[in-house]
Amino acid sequence: MRPDTPAETTPHASHTAEAERLERAAALYPEDAEQLLLQAAAHHEVAGDRDRATALYDRLLALPAEQPVLVRALKAANLWEYGHDAEARAIVDGVRLAAPRSPEPWIIVAEALEAHDELESAHSVFTDATELLVGDSAHPPREVRPLLFGRHRVRRLLGADHDARDELADRLHEAPVPLDELHDPNRLWSLGSDNPAELRAEIDRLRAELGTYRAALSRPFPVAVLHSTEDELAQLLAAHPALTTEFPSHEAHLAAVESSLRELATSGTPHLGTVSATLPSYEAFAASESTTPTDPSLLPLYATTLAARGRAKAWPPANDAGCWCGRGREYGVCHGAG
């Protein structure tokens, strides 16, 4: 569940280089620093530079982070890997007390406990998380299902009988290999077998499990359209008057955004969204592309880059939700009224 955790097959030197590149990018794009530094820390961990990863987590916690509980959970899991068990456990206790409403911190600390053979504690964390985030729902959202699958796995390792949560996990599991088989403790012994057929069967089972996790963690990549508030657009045009031909007025700009999104939807394009940004961010992006901010062809590339960093908001909003334009009116009586 770590943010964009890199594959471990890449040489460690390249992970260190990528981490340093991401740290430089965070300095250029401070509004995206949290996500970029989290990715950098993941690369440092894979490279074995766990002290550098911890330093990045500490740096993030010193800032007004958007996801401080997630950062603390990642720090705890990292500390555990290089001998700081007591500090890691203290952080895990703090994460549990915080009772986050997103599944990622729960999964990270529960899997850290599981990896260090503290199965009872892992089971307790998974159970608390499912009580909080799944509740009585028979169709919980996809992002919380790994909590049910992790709890099922730990209970299997503990030899516990199935309960209602395990039955729900079985129903939600989409891979062709049943969860009971995927989570069978005895299957680990087959990895030491010298029988090629047994090894091939285990590889197939592991691939099926990996596919399940990838499906649970995957997020659609949005096709995003850039929009600006009235103040942001005024700042942009004051700094770069040549863009006035692209934005004759703020009303025309907003109408064009809605029109573009509707045309994309009519053509069958999925996962649409809007992105917005500040003038300093746009100018920094132009500098990183070695071009001028007055180049109109840079605008869609900028929107795509922001969407790739997770900055997009899904479109269309519900009719009774706030309109994407940010004026405070419901979408159904604002730009959704047409």
pLDDT along the chain (338 residues), means of 10: 46 80 89 88 89 92 87 93 89 94 94 89 96 92 92 91 93 81 70 72 71 55 85 90 90 92 88 86 82 86 81 87 88 87
Domain ranges of the chain: 223-333
Rounded to whole angstroms, how far apart are CA atoms 81 and 2? Answer: 15
The pLDDT of residue 82: 84
Rounded to whole angstroms, how far apart are CA atoms 20 and 268? Answer: 39
Nearest CA to 217 among 68, 2, 43, 44? 2
Rounded to whole angstroms, how far apart are CA atoms 272 and 316? Answer: 8
The pLDDT of residue 149: 94
- Tally: H helices and E strands in the chain: 16, 3
The pLDDT of residue 7: 45
The pLDDT of residue 71: 93
The pLDDT of residue 10: 45
The pLDDT of residue 213: 56
The pLDDT of residue 1: 43
Q: For residue 142, count CB atoms less than 10 angstroms from its CB and return exposed for 0-12, middle for 13-18, buried for 19 or more.
A: middle
Its pTM stands at: 0.58
The pLDDT of residue 8: 43
